Structure 1
């Protein structure tokens, strides 16, 4: 009997152990679930790392800090405003030589660039032969100028110019503080007097213009907001239609393109895909950020003369 009792006790113990093993397997699956959850967290962590990397890469693409950062936006051949990471690091103090400038009067514009602690930003990268490009447009975009302030010292740039008529002008300073991305700072200047009636900016169905004896035709493929768009300028002589194949470098490239939305809020400074081209075609790549009406200025140089050709397009 005692032996039977011992055998029964051993059998019960074995059964109990098997029950724990099955529960353990369940717990084991839970453990695998925990491992899977950990793997899941790992996956999320990986996704998070990928997201962080993607976000960083997106920021680099926007600011020009990526692989093509030295070219300030050459990744997509477009310079836009500063990234959210940089936007609070830099601000501009604008000073005018006249508090109420008059039309055709010499006006000296001083731009002081400072960081968030009000310290002068002193180092800037050269971008297409200049430390700063200054775009000046009238409110209705009928007037355009691209000038280059001189760097003085302690984050200060200065330029003297003339504005043609009374009214409001937007000034866009385009520059690259060393170690940051391409960025812009903007200011409105009001010229005293009775402003002329603003011209309505209407999209053009025919993108061909004659400027300085040259016929320039613009072709844009994929004209749609958010899509990569190729801008191709074909340049020939207006009199005999001979292709112009001896364009000269303008600021180190075959040409430059500046694009502004009708409300002046969307700004694109576009560089050519082949900077060493000499014509008759000059190609540029960009992306229009929003739908709406945009004005495009192409800038080229031929026989020592810079000419500007404007086009107005509507982006779906």
Structure 2
């Protein structure tokens, strides 16, 4: 090989090595690394789901939901619950292998939010069990009637994102009358001497929607501008589909707002009838106001 050919061969070798180095720099360091986050709301479909509607920043479709690796077991301490009797509820959070989860982040002032509704959504409770260690939370609650109740455990494990796990439970006793979940003809309600009006920018599925609650004194019609923080924010909103299969827990756009308006952003995952509960605090009293809307 003459001198010119040797020089050309050497240059070609260096060029190929440099190209391989650049390709390695652009490749992902670990294909199993997944990231997630949460924003103004999170939703749940079926028995187990991670927040999806709140991930406005977006993440790859290949992401493994945190809830795929977590389980929630709901039980009554005595083995059963009877209507109108105080009963201890136990919520056990475990990993997929059955080992208890012990590291939770404080999420709106609590480690776990427990939402309870009955079969026709006429009963609603938003309570906060105490953490006992070994993945176990407990709280006492009295159910107003017998029948089926769905429990939603809403929490955030350390290093994970907001997760909601749920289960239907049976309560012994005479069931209340089954009422249809019927859309309200007018989105104005009076609760505890407050008049609350709800406005939605859209009632179409899969569209961004802003919910605006206007809170006034029922007698004077004057706006209330001294709302107090409830769980660290001006208010909280829980939304359920008629069959309780779709769950949304929505946080306000401006957590430090004091009224009379409180705004929340979310999107309805599919068409159907939804019940909305807005929760606010004024002069030490928590106000819970329900609305029912039809989403097309």
Per the shorter chain, which TM-score range? 0.7 to 0.9
Q: Deviations over 1:18-70 (max 9, x none)?
A: xxxxxxxxxxxxxxxxxxxxxxxx9xxx9x98xx9xxx67xx2xxxx2xxxxx
Of residues 223, 231, 235 in structure 2, which corresponds to 1:251? 231
- Map 1:255-274 onto structure 2 (within 5 A): 255-274=235-254
The alignment status of 1:148 with 2:128, answered yes or no, reads: yes
Of residues 29, 41, 54 in structure 2, which corresponds to 1:78? 41
CA distance in 1, matches of 2:132, 2:267: 34
Q: Which runs of 5+ in 2 are unaligned?
A: 1-22, 44-48, 52-63
Structure number with the higher strand fraction is 2
CA distance in 2, matches of 1:229, 1:285: 6
The alignment status of 1:133 with 2:96, answered yes or no, reads: no
- Cα deviation for residue 267 of structure 1 reads 0.2
Matched-pair contact (CA < 8 Å) for 2:72–2:153 = no
Q: Which runs of 5+ in 1 are unaligned?
A: 1-41, 66-72
- Cα deviation for residue 155 of structure 1 reads 1.0
Structure having the higher Rg: 1
- Cα deviation for residue 187 of structure 1 reads 1.7
Q: Deviations over 1:269-291 (max 9, x none)?
A: 00000000000000000010010
CA distance in 2, matches of 1:168, 1:190: 5
CA distance in 2, matches of 1:175, 1:287: 21
Aligned to 2:164: 184
> What secondary structure does 1:88 align onto?
helix
Aligned to 1:170: 150
CA distance in 1, matches of 2:142, 2:176: 17
Aligned to 1:310: 290
TM-score by length of 2: 0.81
> What secondary structure does 1:188 align onto?
strand
Matched-pair contact (CA < 8 Å) for 2:83–2:174 = no
Of residues 67, 91, 99 in structure 1, which corresponds to 2:71? 91
CA distance in 1, matches of 2:237, 2:65: 26
The alignment status of 1:108 with 2:88, answered yes or no, reads: yes
- Cα deviation for residue 194 of structure 1 reads 2.5
Matched-pair contact (CA < 8 Å) for 2:212–2:262 = yes
The alignment status of 1:122 with 2:102, answered yes or no, reads: yes
CA distance in 1, matches of 2:106, 2:201: 31
If asked which structure has higher relative contact order (CA below 8 Å, sep 6+), I would say 2
CA distance in 2, matches of 1:221, 1:298: 16
Aligned to 1:206: 186
The alignment status of 1:276 with 2:244, answered yes or no, reads: no
TM-score by length of 1: 0.76
CA distance in 2, matches of 1:199, 1:98: 30
The number of equivalent residue pairs is 254
CA distance in 1, matches of 2:271, 2:78: 38
Structure number with the higher helix fraction is 1
- Cα deviation for residue 99 of structure 1 reads 2.8
CA distance in 2, matches of 1:256, 1:92: 23
CA distance in 2, matches of 1:281, 1:87: 34
- Cα deviation for residue 157 of structure 1 reads 0.7
Once superposed, what is the RMSD of the aligned Cα atoms?
A: 2.1
CA distance in 1, matches of 2:110, 2:80: 29
Q: Deviations over 1:116-154 (max 9, x none)?
A: 221111100110000000000011000000000001111
